[in-house]
């Protein structure tokens, strides 16, 4: 009998309607459409507007789309994992809120915080629950409402982030050897000083002072983060290829975290693959943190074929980074 593996059997997603263009950002901060496009590859991003609308709102929309595309009954879901750094609140977990909202009444659920690598960590975690034989249907959601933690006066940071959500269904497969095959993940809190949120946690709870000092926004030293990202994301992708004896011609697509087109290009170059094999939607959505990778899979779903070799790669806050080797499981 073949080893049980966890395959992706469907994707859903949600993007808020409001489009924040580079042109609109030109009116908010000292920047230009040309600078943003050239330095990042981003033209526009989506923003979730409206009172009391958090990540769970977008996550539930993504999961509902997933259920309607796959015809899965929410009651069949055993586990729902939500990957996010912008939870609705510190607790309860956003996963708990989403699971109840979508009717996954027989599931247990929890959040994973691994910033831009969150979806990859969530996928690997979920795959182990399935491979163990304990669980049959697991949903992994990547969602972030980055606009809730962005200072729209900080031109170096506000231009790259956007809001969005996407979700995949993982199921067991005992036959064909598709699904999540391998991964290489790392983390190092050396990244804390370069990318963090100063207040709002147990070390520095919210106060009038923290609000006045803008300590509830993303603090990012872009250039330092860029340097780590550009080498580590490429290294991780290359390592996973080497470990699994994959050559450039064996790869159908690189599915990279969408933080900056220049980081993506460097990763593709290291892997020796051309741009026609790189999933890219940064132009439309910017950096939606935990949602970028599943949103790419959603946009390219109709180009994927059963048995395709995909390398998913990410780098983000923590630092956290890694790459995952996935064999696609269905034709669209």
Contact residues toward ligand UT7 (CB under 6 A) are 31, 35-36, 39-40, 116, 155-156, 159-160, 222-223, 225-226, 229, 259-260, 263, 287, 316
Q: How many Å apart are CA 21 and CA 130, to the nearest integer? A: 41
Asked if 216 is an active-site residue, the reply is no
CB of 130 vs ligand UT7, minimal distance in Å: 28
> CB of residue 222 vs ligand UT7: minimum separation in angstroms?
3
Query: Can you tell me the distance from the alpha carbon of 330 to that of 62, in angstroms, rounded to the nearest whole number?
Result: 20
Q: Is 287 tagged catalytic?
A: yes
For the chain, report the end-to-end CA distance as a whole number of angstroms: 28
C-alpha–C-alpha distance, residues 21 and 37, integer Å: 11
Is the CB of 77 or the CB of 116 nearer to ligand UT7? 116
Determine the length of the chain. Answer: 332
Residue nearest to ligand UT7 (CB): 222
Catalytic residue among 232, 287, 296, 329: 287
CB atoms within 10 A of CB 133: 10
Quote the least distance from Cβ 44 to ligand UT7, whole Å.
14
Per annotation, catalytic residue among 82, 83, 116, 296:
116
For ligand UT7, the closer of residues 4 and 262 by Cβ is 262
List b or e across 212-242, with b for residues whose CB sees 16 or more CB atoms inside 10 angstroms.
eeebebbebebeebbebbbbbbbbbbbbbbe
Q: Are 296 and 207 in contact (CB under 8 A)?
A: no
> Which is nearer to ligand UT7, 35 or 108 (by Cβ)?
35
| 39 CB neighbour count, 10 Å cutoff | 17
Report the residue number, 156 or 190, with the smaller CB distance to ligand UT7: 156
Q: Which residues of 74-84 are buried (b: 16+ CB within 10 A; e: fewer)?
A: beebbbbbbbb
- Min. distance of Cβ 269 from ligand UT7 in angstroms? 17
Given 64, 178, 257, 329, the catalytic residue: 257
Q: Which is nearer to ligand UT7, 147 or 287 (CB)?
A: 287
At its nearest, how many Å lie between ligand UT7 and the CB of residue 156?
4
For the annotated catalytic residues, the residue numbers are 116, 257, 287
């Amino acid at each position: 009998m073949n080893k049980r593996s966890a395959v992706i059997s469907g994707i859903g997603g949600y993007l808020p309607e409001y489009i924040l263009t580079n042109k609109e950002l030109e009116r908010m901060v000292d920047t230009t459409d040309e600078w943003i496009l050239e330095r990042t590859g981003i033209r526009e991003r989506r923003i979730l507007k409206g009172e009391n609308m958090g990540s769970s709102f977008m996550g539930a929309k993504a999961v509902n789309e997933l259920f309607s595309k796959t015809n899965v009954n929410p009651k069949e879901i055993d586990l729902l994992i939500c990957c996010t750094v912008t939870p609705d609140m510190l607790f309860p977990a956003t996963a708990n809120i989403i699971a109840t909202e979508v009717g996954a009444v027989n599931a247990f659920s929890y959040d994973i915080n691994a910033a831009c690598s969150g979806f990859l960590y969530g996928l690997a975690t979920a795959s182990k629950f399935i491979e163990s034989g304990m669980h049959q249907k697991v949903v992994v959601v990547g969602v972030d409402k980055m606009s809730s933690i962005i200072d729209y006066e900080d031109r170096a940071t506000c231009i790259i982030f956007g809001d969005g959500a996407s979700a995949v269904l993982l199921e067991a497969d005992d036959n064909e050897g598709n699904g999540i095959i391998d991964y290489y993940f790392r983390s190092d809190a050396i990244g804390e000083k370069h990318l963090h949120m100063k207040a709002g946690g147990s070390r520095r709870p919210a106060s009038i002072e923290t609000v006045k000092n803008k300590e509830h926004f993303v603090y990012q030293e872009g250039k330092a983060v860029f340097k780590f990202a550009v080498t580590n994301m490429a290294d991780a992708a290359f390592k996973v290829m080497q470990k699994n004896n994959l050559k450039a011609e064996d790869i159908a697509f690189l599915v990279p975290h969408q933080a900056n087109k220049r980081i993506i290009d460097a990763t593709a170059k290291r892997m020796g693959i051309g741009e026609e094999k790189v999933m890219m939607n940064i132009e439309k959505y910017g950096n939606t943190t935990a949602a970028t990778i599943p949103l790419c899979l959603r946009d390219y779903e109709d180009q994927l074929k059963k048995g395709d070799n995909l390398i998913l790669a990410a780098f983000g806050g923590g630092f956290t980074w890694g790459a995952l080797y996935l064999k696609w499981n269905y034709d669209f």
